[in-house]
Structure 1
Amino acid sequence: MILKYIPLDEGMMIMDEAIVKAKKIIEGYPETKFSGEEYQRCVYFMCTYHSSNEKTMQLYEKFRNSLEESIFSTVLPTLVNKQGANLLREFVVIWSNYKLMARWLCRFFEYLDRFFIPQHIELESLNGISFSCFRDLVFKKLYCRLIEAALTLINQEREGQQIDCVLLKNVLDIFVEISDYKGANYYEDFERIMLTEISGYYSRLASEWLLYDSSAEYVQKVFWCLNREKQRARQYLHPDTEIKIVQVVRYHLLDQIANKLMEKRQAENSGMVTDYQWYCNACECTYLLQVLLVVFGEAILLDHLVGLELEVSGSWSIIIRRNIVEMCWHVPSRGKFFNITRRMALDANGKFSTYMLNLF
């Protein structure tokens, strides 16, 4: 049982003991099952008995110093020589352990947060010190390397390699978490760099595909890339980032080269879409439908729909018919397609489905 009167030197020794226990967490030891009440009382009695602000400020500085010492003695040596995925993996573990250690220290020094700091508005909260120490001494120093490692993983997956998507998501979540606390938006900085890389990547692909692929193959690849980028974004990026990525990909693969794509189609002797199943699926995307209309022309689309109509029977999936109807509904001169799509809307029993009736 700690007495109410605690000499300052003795109290500091008790708190040194508490700090050593907390540091075990960041060093990788299992979380120690100890009570913080003893150390909370120690800080309380030291602050109330030694009532001068100078003595209490020493405890405040001791809290900050304990965090900085942990960073310089354990965190930075652990991360400084790591690269790539290993750096990201260690960074996630260190951040988790650091937060747990800081949480215990905040509990030990709780009196400062509750009574001392509110009386001195110029002082940062204990939780704020925990974040700012890690941000300024660790995160800022490693930020460029973390971005490089994260972008390397993203590019590897884009090229077809298997990566640890959970690890990547955890790292980017830390970017957001640290950004949320009174600092620069590190995730937005990462996002801007990533979008720049994506722009260069798809600009190069557009040039290659225009040179070596037919217009039909080009559109099919665009559709595939858009789907893959959406899936990739949903796995580990912020929801708002997905929209930005799709806009960048569409701009470089479609908007920027629309005239060249049309010229390529006009120069081809043939190039009509023959894969009807892919055709139906692709046309679920109104944006891509508009590109198909530009590339192939309405007359060719009409010819294919006439041919496709002749093959439609009661055994055809109503979903496939629905896709065709939806596609035709977006064609500017949709009146031309009314008779065809009307018959395609019939289900196996020869009746209009409610969904199809709503379309018309």
Structure 2
Amino acid sequence: MDREIIELQPGWEKCRMYINKLIAFLEKETESAFTSEEYMSFYTIVYNMCTQKNPYDFSQELYQRYRDSFTGYISERVAPALQEKNGEAMLHELTMRWENHKLMVRLLSRIFKYLDRYYVSRYNLDYLNDVGLMCFRDIVYEYMKPTMKNAVLSMVLKEREGEQIDRQLVKTVLEIFVEIGLGNMKNYEEDFEKYILEETSLHYRTKASEWIEDDSCPAYMIKAEKCLELEKDRVNQQQQVEGAGGASAKDADGASKQVNSGYFHHTTESRLLDCVEDELLAKYEMQLLEKENSGCVALLREDKKEDLARMYRLFSRIPKGKEPVAKMLSKHIESEGMAMVKECNERAEQAKAEALTKSKKERRNQESQETVFVKRLIKLHDKYLLYVQECFDNDALFHKALKEAFENFCHKQVANCACSELLASFCDNLLKKGSGEKLSGDAIEETFEKICKLLAYISDKDMYAEFYRKKLSKRLLFDRSANEDHERSMLARLKQQCGPQFTSKMEGMLTDLQVAKDNQGRFEQHLEKNPEKKPPLDLSVLVLTQGFWPSYPVNTMIIPDEMEKGIEIFKEFYDLKTKHRKLTWVFTLGVCHLSGRFGSPREKKYNFQMNTMQAAVMMLFNSEEKLSFGEVRDRLKLDDADVIRLLHSLSCAKYKLLLKNPPGKTVSKTDIFELNTKFQDKMARIRIPLPPVEQEKKKVAEIVHADRRYQIDAAIVRIMKARKVLKHSELMTETVTQLSSSFKPDVKTIKKRIMDLIERDFLERDKNDPQLFRYLA
């Protein structure tokens, strides 16, 4: 059966009836829009009018009258209602009308939905939902937007001044700016955002000019941080609503409720905060940092960690804002370090002057200024490393500032010692028996870690390595190392910090010493099996590999027959093991234990520990009552300087085993010496030290500088061999870079080494360009 044709006018009158009923509901003239039956009747009428065959397809007419329904309602009812109100009352009216309008659009677009499906798609027209919103935009929004904008700006300003406002109202109004753009943010950005950004800049410009004059730096930063938090809170962001007891509140479906904490659109956040940061921070950064009694330096000086952390947080927000803070930190640390160096030097001079009036025991118990300096250096580094970690969020820029500051004063001389030597001596005290503080194993390991961190700031690491190696050799050879595990632990840290080449010789020393001890064990087993070859005295020999250990002076002295026979027996044993190695005896490192009776008539027995060369001198007096300086020298075949050191240690030091004639505190070549038969001491075991060779520090420096020449030569040849041709400036740069992990080479020294390599035909200058070098294969 054919469907009854619906004419345009009668059909639209029925539609108009339902639309009027919806308008009456929106205007609160009735309690409901229409029932479900009315809704279906309305939908059916529209559907039938759009699906009738031509000329009764009224899709075009319905599309136009759909639009006219909105324009008529908005023009007659909505616009006049809004024009009657101002300010916040107008905004309330606007939001109510906007919600009503969206409801009307939603309902009518569903009823006219068939138009969207076919007619709109076919002719590429605006969708029904967009048509409804555009009607509101063209009639209400375009006329009201200046008033809307001003009213919202006024409310935001009130809130910034501390007043309470209806945030939900502001948020809803700003949503109109967004939604009216139909997916495009142009309306929101041009009609509202640019104005709020201008007002924000103006507002905080005024506030900043007041605060910078009246407030201290910490007070200003607290206000600035609070303002940034409040502005961020004004941005529309979703947050969990917390229920009682900390649990998140749930809606009827069990889902967590969400609320809007702000009203600006989330796209405004970055630009809004940029305005605040620019006005409060960027424009006044240096003025804040340089405030005399409350700026960055004052906060560092007074240990205001919380304020420093806030300063970092704030100035991290602006471009290059951290750099001035990092520079001030570096200068402050450097000034503290330089003051520490100066104070330590002054105290060292004072201690040197007071040493003349103090007893040996007082001087021994007094901690050296060098040790005090290293402890203070560790404490200073710990303090500011903690600042970098806690206040400056482990920022690489501040780690660099810390590094530069320490590098700038760690190369200074302290009590006539380089920092590298001080660190090596400090480590020696930690690792040596019977010296330094009694620290637990964990405390020693922690100190090792801190020493290695300081070592990273020292440019002459090779100098540290040589001093450390010298002191390590003495600890190992004279059995003064407190703990071998600690020795290896320290070497492992140095290896990690400076590379395997840095510690290769030191690790070789530990291994070599163990091999030497095993060899001594085999020697003792050999003597047990061959008792007829037992030497006339107990003999312990350490055979060491020369390449691992520091160089020591070798004296070809004539030793007593008992010692000589023992050496011959050991050589015979060693030759059984290998005939390809030559033994060189270093008597300066030997230790002898002598026993003797002194007193009248020699009733007390003493055990003396002394150097092999000292023991050789004392054994001369077994057969002679008196010997002159010359006789001692000729019998031992030693240099005058060595004889003076030996005789001085035995006749002029604390323990006078020999009597010198004439008496005095110095040894001359005309002196006569005899055994002190009346020697007495309350101790039965006595160690007789041998004075150190003078200028040992100078010899270490000479060794290091000689090694540096070889390293520079090797680096230059290595670079040129790879590059073949290179400019002077590039060669200098690459050489410094390659060697920087060990030491910082001097430019003049590099130039000298280049000239030496040219003379030795490793390099040549280009004939046309003297700044260009060529490698000669």
TM-score (norm: length of structure 2) = 0.37
Aligned partner of 1:131 among 130, 133, 145: 133
Encode CA deviations 1:189-231: one digit per residue, 9 max, x unaligned.
2111111111112222222223323344333332332222222
Task: State the AA in 2 paired with 1:279.
Answer: D
Residue 188 (str. 1) matches residue 189 (str. 2): yes
Distance 1:198 1:47 in 2: 53
Distance 1:285 1:13 in 2: 67
Residue pairs, 1:251-266, within 5 angstroms: 251-261=278-288, 265=291
- Of 161-170 and 20-29, more deviation after overlay is shown by 20-29
Once the two structures are TM-superposed, the CA of residue 188 in structure 1 deviates from its matched residue by 0.9
Distance 2:32 2:303 in 1: 60
Residue 101 (str. 1) matches residue 104 (str. 2): yes
Task: State the AA in 2 paired with 1:27.
Answer: E
Q: Report SS of the residue matched to 1:179.
A: coil
| Matching residue of 1:293 | 325
Residue 59 (str. 1) matches residue 62 (str. 2): yes
Is the radius of gyration larger for structure 1 or structure 2?
2
The change in CA–CA distance for 1:53 and 1:4 in structure 2 (over 3 A counts) is closer
Once the two structures are TM-superposed, the CA of residue 269 in structure 1 deviates from its matched residue by 5.4
Residue 174 (str. 1) matches residue 176 (str. 2): yes
Residue pairs, 1:96-245, within 5 angstroms: 96-121=99-124, 123-181=125-183, 185-189=186-190, 190-233=192-235, 234=237, 235-245=262-272
Once the two structures are TM-superposed, the CA of residue 14 in structure 1 deviates from its matched residue by 0.8
| Matching residue of 1:334 | 402
The change in CA–CA distance for 1:72 and 1:270 in structure 2 (over 3 A counts) is closer
Q: Report SS of the residue matched to 2:10.
A: helix
Once the two structures are TM-superposed, the CA of residue 155 in structure 1 deviates from its matched residue by 1.2
Distance 1:301 1:153 in 2: 48
Distance 2:314 2:334 in 1: 17
C-alpha contact 2:315 2:322 (8 A) present in aligned 1: yes
Task: State the AA in 1 paired with 2:227.
Answer: C
Once the two structures are TM-superposed, the CA of residue 137 in structure 1 deviates from its matched residue by 0.6
Distance 1:158 1:301 in 2: 40
Aligned partner of 1:323 among 390, 405, 413: 390
Q: Report SS of the residue matched to 2:162.
A: coil
Distance 1:79 1:291 in 2: 53
C-alpha contact 1:76 1:138 (8 A) present in aligned 2: yes
Distance 1:132 1:226 in 2: 37
The change in CA–CA distance for 1:124 and 1:328 in structure 2 (over 3 A counts) is closer
Encode CA deviations 1:40-64: one digit per residue, 9 max, x unaligned.
2212333444723784433222211
Once the two structures are TM-superposed, the CA of residue 159 in structure 1 deviates from its matched residue by 1.0
Distance 1:292 1:50 in 2: 79
| Matching residue of 1:39 | 42
Distance 1:6 1:38 in 2: 13
Task: State the AA in 1 paired with 2:54.
Answer: S
Once the two structures are TM-superposed, the CA of residue 330 in structure 1 deviates from its matched residue by 4.7
The change in CA–CA distance for 1:83 and 1:198 in structure 2 (over 3 A counts) is same
Once the two structures are TM-superposed, the CA of residue 161 in structure 1 deviates from its matched residue by 1.1
Distance 1:284 1:156 in 2: 30
C-alpha contact 2:50 2:58 (8 A) present in aligned 1: yes
Once the two structures are TM-superposed, the CA of residue 25 in structure 1 deviates from its matched residue by 3.6
Q: Percent identity?
A: 31
Runs (5+) with no aligned partner, structure 2: 238-261, 337-375, 407-442, 447-777
Residue 4 (str. 1) matches residue 4 (str. 2): yes
TM-score (norm: length of structure 1) = 0.76
| Matching residue of 2:765 | none
Distance 1:119 1:53 in 2: 18
Q: How many residues align?
A: 325
Encode CA deviations 1:140-169: one digit per residue, 9 max, x unaligned.
111111111111121111111111222222
Encode CA deviations 1:21-76: one digit per residue, 9 max, x unaligned.
22124313544342322122212333444723784433222211111111022211
Distance 2:294 2:309 in 1: 22
The change in CA–CA distance for 1:261 and 1:99 in structure 2 (over 3 A counts) is same
The change in CA–CA distance for 1:63 and 1:201 in structure 2 (over 3 A counts) is same
Distance 2:64 2:215 in 1: 66
The change in CA–CA distance for 1:166 and 1:184 in structure 2 (over 3 A counts) is closer
C-alpha contact 1:106 1:127 (8 A) present in aligned 2: yes
C-alpha contact 1:64 1:129 (8 A) present in aligned 2: yes
Encode CA deviations 1:237-278: one digit per residue, 9 max, x unaligned.
22232111222222222222334445x62xx35653368464
Q: Report SS of the residue matched to 1:252.
A: helix
C-alpha contact 1:25 1:97 (8 A) present in aligned 2: no
Distance 1:253 1:295 in 2: 21
More helix by percentage: 1
| Matching residue of 2:19 | 19
The change in CA–CA distance for 1:73 and 1:302 in structure 2 (over 3 A counts) is farther
Q: Report SS of the residue matched to 1:124.
A: coil
Distance 2:324 2:135 in 1: 55
CA-atom RMSD in angstroms? 3.7
C-alpha contact 1:284 1:323 (8 A) present in aligned 2: no
| Matching residue of 1:346 | none
Q: Report SS of the residue matched to 1:326.
A: coil
C-alpha contact 1:39 1:108 (8 A) present in aligned 2: yes
